[in-house]
């Protein structure tokens, strides 16, 4: 996680230096999220993540009206359930999300107050078992997997420095197995992450 965070910070710093001659425009966002994972099946095992909620905290640096760099931290907790020939196993885990990438603002007519955007980011998801295992998933260990995040959203200003934000993120990553070979599906899975919250601009 430290290596990923350092890399994201270095990218933002590098891009910031390249844009130092421009006006600095930053924002911080705080959003509540849902976490809905698609089932995946492979090697005789079906993996299913329970539905849960969480939050996202993000920072954006706007280079100009249409391009920004963003870093995001997210948190959720759910249980990964595994159905296979050995029966049912499950691992409850805290899920830490760290991504960084770019946001492109879409053009809108001047009479519209809302600001739509699309995003593409990369990073990691860290699945950290809570110790409350279900169904005998012994030996589960903390696991980090690479993630690609895509999506979009819209900001709607309510006062000069505060906006409402509604957003959707799709997370694409390898289904976790917590280092337990019997839980490995060897499949890529997808999590839908809708969110809403506030944006503070400065």
pLDDT in tens, 138-152: 788 999 999 999 999
The whole-number pLDDT of residue 84 equals: 82
- Say whether 18 sits in a helix, a strand or coil: helix
Question: What Å distances lie between residue 193 and 54, 56, 105, 151, CA to CA?
Answer: 9, 10, 20, 9
pLDDT tens for the chain, residues 1 to 202: 656 555 555 554 554 444 444 465 899 999 999 999 999 999 989 999 999 999 999 999 999 999 999 999 999 999 999 998 667 888 999 999 999 999 999 998 877 889 999 999 999 999 999 987 665 577 889 999 999 999 999 999 999 899 999 999 999 999 999 999 889 999 999 999 999 999 999 9
Q: Architecture of domain 2-201 in CATH?
A: Beta Barrel (2.40)
The whole-number pLDDT of residue 186 equals: 94
What's the pTM? 0.85
For the chain, the domains span: 2-201
The whole-number pLDDT of residue 138 equals: 75
Percent of the chain with pLDDT over 70: 85
- Say whether 22 sits in a helix, a strand or coil: coil
Q: Are strands 115-134 and 143-159 parallel, antiparallel or unpaired?
A: antiparallel
């Amino acid at each position: 996680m430290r290596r990923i965070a350092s890399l994201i910070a270095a990218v933002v710093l590098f891009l910031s230096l390249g844009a130092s001659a421009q006006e600095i425009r930053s924002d911080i966002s705080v959003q509540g999220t849902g976490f809905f994972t698609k089932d995946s099946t492979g090697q005789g095992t079906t993996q299913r993540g329970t539905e849960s909620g969480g939050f996202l905290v993000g920072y954006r640096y706007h280079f100009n009206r249409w391009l920004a760099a963003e870093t995001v931290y997210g948190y959720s907790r759910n249980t990964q359930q595994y159905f296979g020939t050995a029966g049912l196993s499950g691992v409850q885990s805290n899920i830490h999300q760290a991504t960084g990438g770019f946001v492109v603002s879409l053009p809108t007519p001047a009479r519209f107050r809302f600001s739509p955007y699309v995003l593409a980011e990369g990073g990691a998801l860290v699945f950290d078992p809570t110790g409350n295992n279900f169904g005998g998933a012994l030996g589960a260990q903390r696991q980090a997997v690479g993630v690609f995040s895509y999506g979009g959203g819209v900001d709607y200003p309510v006062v000069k420095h505060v906006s409402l934000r509604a957003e959707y993120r799709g997370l694409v990553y390898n289904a976790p197995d917590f280092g337990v070979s019997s839980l490995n599906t060897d499949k890529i899975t997808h999590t839908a992450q809708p969110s809403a919250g506030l944006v503070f601009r400065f």
